Amino acid sequence: MRRGERHAALMDGVYRGQRHIYDLTRKYYLLGRDRLIDELTPPVGGRVLEIGCGTGRNLIAAARCWPGARFHGIDISEEMLKTARASIARAGLAKRISVARGDATDFDPNTLFGIDGFDRIFQSYTLSMIPDWQGAMREAMRHLSAHGSLHIVDFGQQEQLPGWWRAALLGWLARFHVEPRAMLIEGAREIANDIGGRMSVTRLYRGYAWSLRIDRRPR
């Protein structure tokens, strides 16, 4: 079994039961997601992709926030996509949101959605669960339009929070195969430099979460 297949099987195992209560429980600690959605500002008629779309919660919120754009999502877990498809249908957004099973480190938008690329791509609390998280960022940048941007929110390093809090949080997250990436900012900056783009970062809630943006071209 290849690494991607092993990771898919692991995620299906983790979320087979959790997907039914995922949104109810995660809203208390996946902070900064709605802020990211508000800042997407896709062009009218633009295409937006969420990598690691999970239950579809973010896609539905983004489609409602930006009614002029079309949205797509990929996730490696078919179990999570079952919930996403049902939620999108209930929201009446099946004509504006499409989802497909895909590996964040290696996917083809043309095969999955019949399109060449995206104006905006976002990753919300996914890089801390993807083994090759740097590869996932580079793959996202590969599928952006010339003036596109990649938006990321994920766990920070709890810089201004007590040490006991950091230790407790990291221990708890490890139970769910989540590992906040200490080198996330440096990795994003390296990618931005490689493409001649621009990277910006905002530390949220005393370092509880980091919000990053990489523009293919400087604004």
Mean pLDDT, residues 4-21: 51
pLDDT at 63 (0 to 100): 98
**Token pair 């926030």 is at which residue?**
65
Contact 215, 198 (CB under 8 A): yes
Q: What is the pLDDT of residues 16-61, one digit of tens each?
A: 545 444 454 455 468 899 999 999 999 999 999 999 999 999 999 9
Q: What is the pLDDT of residues 104-149, one digit of tens each?
A: 999 999 999 999 999 999 999 999 999 999 999 999 999 999 999 9
Residue 78: phi and psi, rounded to 5, are -65, -30
pTM: 0.88
Output the six-digit token pair for 210: 């980091």
pLDDT at 68 (0 to 100): 97
